[in-house]
Amino acid sequence: QEKATEMLYKLGLDYSSRRDLESRWSIRNSSKSGENHRILFQWYEWERQAPYPFTACLAHVEIIEKGNGVVTWIAGVLDHNDGCRSSFLERRPPVPLHEHIYEVALEQLRKLKWCKVIDKNQEMITSKSYHGMDQYDPATANVRYLFLPSDHASLYRKAAKSIGIDARQLPQVNIEEWLTPESPRYNPQLAGAVFHYSARIEAEDRFEICISTPEMDDAARKYAHHSQFILDGTFGICSSRLLLFIALAVDEDRKGLPIALFLFSASTKAKATHASYDTNILTRLLLAWKNSLENKFGSFQPYSCITDTDTKERGAVIAVWPQMILLICRF
């Protein structure tokens, strides 16, 4: 271990050197198997924010270490080319955001108290409550406390990881694993709330997923059965070409409660996402919702439905509930 520690120090890959802002090494791959952690470092200036010129250096090091820090493997191309050895900093290296800023931001995202976010942050800045801020010197510090627009991507990745979303995989892969009982990432709570799911297998297929939690089912039975619900669509909910239709019921306090969510992808041939649906797909999804509630409660028969002037929505509602009274909303 002494030789391994000495070698890593000479290579600039000991723990303290890895955190150095002027380090030229970049982690290209990282994986864990049991207690072993494999890391591949590479001299990869042109695809990272290292402030060094590109010299086509082939140096790379593969390290396998255990959780207690014991190094069991060091291999790779350890020699650098002449241009690499003689290169210098061309600009100031980027300073990373302090990890405590991310922790506080994630906690605020979980609590969703937007009105208090600014006041809380101002209070912590004034009292220097962020970790290490009482000894912070911008001229020498290797961290910063100012959240920049470029930090949003890292925050979103950390937020996704905190709720079990693997941002390295495609969204459809995550969903498939959550809903597949044989998958190690199977989520029974989410799977129990999905009453209709259709994966996109072929290019012309649509991705479809409809969600209604047990609480939403109870609200549908209580407030929409032999009563009224509202149906409307919304678009531009994310960067993907997805459409979302929401069924709402009104409770005794005259507040709207979502009782079903119908999410599906636009057709690959459609030029406009917001127009990529028809009566047939809405009918199929509404019928799946009706069947799900009837299997659970025995019957589900709303008397009226409020929509806008969209004939596709209105046609789908009538197709599922022929005796339905259709009302047009007023704005």
User: What is the model's pLDDT at position 188?
Assistant: 93
Options 3.10.450, 1.10.150, 3.40.720, 3.40.50; which CATH number does 2-85 get? 3.10.450
For residues 320 and 322, give the distance between their C-alpha atoms in angstroms, rounded to a whole number. 6
| CA dist 296 → 195, 215, 270, 292, 293 (Å) | 11, 13, 36, 6, 5
Average model confidence (pLDDT) across the chain: 85
pLDDT-derived band at 50, boundaries 50, 70, 90: low
User: What is the model's pLDDT at position 179?
Assistant: 92
Q: Among 220-224, 260-264, 267-271, where is mean pLDDT lowest?
A: 267-271
pLDDT in tens, 165-187: 887 788 888 899 899 999 888 99
Residue 276: φ, ψ to 5°: -90, 60
3 state SS of 101: helix
Q: Describe the strand order of the beta sheet including 325-328 as a list of residue ranges.
A: 194-198, 208-211, 256-265, 242-250, 228-235, 304-307, 325-328
Query: Does an H or E element contain 184, and which?
Result: none
* Average pLDDT value for residue range 68-76: 84
Q: Dmax of the chain from CA atoms?
A: 82
pLDDT in tens, 118-154: 888 888 888 888 888 888 887 777 788 888 888 888 8
Residue 67 above 80 pLDDT?
no
User: What is the model's pLDDT at position 112?
Assistant: 65
Residue 46 above 60 pLDDT?
no
Q: Strand 194-198 vs strand 325-328: parallel, antiparallel, or unpaired? A: unpaired
pLDDT-derived band at 312, boundaries 50, 70, 90: very high
Residue 219 above 90 pLDDT?
yes
User: What is the model's pLDDT at position 307?
Assistant: 93
pLDDT in tens, 299-311: 999 999 999 888 9
With a CB cutoff of 8 Å and minimum separation 6, the contacts of 280 are: none
Say which amino acid occupies 10.
K
* Average pLDDT value for residue range 318-329: 93
User: What is the model's pLDDT at position 49?
Assistant: 58
pLDDT-derived band at 3, boundaries 50, 70, 90: confident
Spell out the domain ranges in the chain.
Answer: 2-85, 99-162, 186-328
User: What is the model's pLDDT at position 63?
Assistant: 86
Closest CA to 328 of 302, 309, 304: 309
